[in-house]
Amino acid sequence: MVVGWTLHACKHRTLRCQLEHCNPFRRPTVKFEERQKYRKQLMSVWLNSVSDDLDLITDWWFFLRMFNLHGIDLDGDMYSRATFALLVFAGIGSLSYLLELYQTVFKYPG
């Protein structure tokens, strides 16, 4: 479900785990501040990816729900015309999702 975070981690090889880093009770002594800053950045990428994934899923789910109830008819009632607007906005949201995915994974490696 966390597409952006997974692709970012795979591309930049950040899923490495060394034995000294696996002990949750041991406080690291080497480059602690640097590693803590990096983990905060990685957590930010992960949280943004989760929210983007959920937003995309709910946009399309809401469109499909309204499409099943009212259909798309530009000459019909208000709800069937609004369903067309939902289709347009879900498409724009999908395009925005893909552009942000590209930006997260490929454009800004840090």
Confidence of residue 79 (pLDDT cuts 50, 70, 90): confident
What pLDDT shows up at residue 90? 95
What pLDDT shows up at residue 39? 79
Residue 15 above 70 pLDDT?
no
Identify whether the C-beta of residue 46 lies closer than 8 Å to the C-beta of residue 2.
yes
DSSP 54-110: HHHHHHHHHHHHHHHHH---TTS-HHHHHHHHHHHHHHHHHHHHHHHHHIIIII---
What pLDDT shows up at residue 45? 78
Identify whether the C-beta of residue 4 lies closer than 8 Å to the C-beta of residue 101.
yes
Residue 75 above 80 pLDDT?
yes
Identify whether the C-beta of residue 104 lies closer than 8 Å to the C-beta of residue 45.
yes
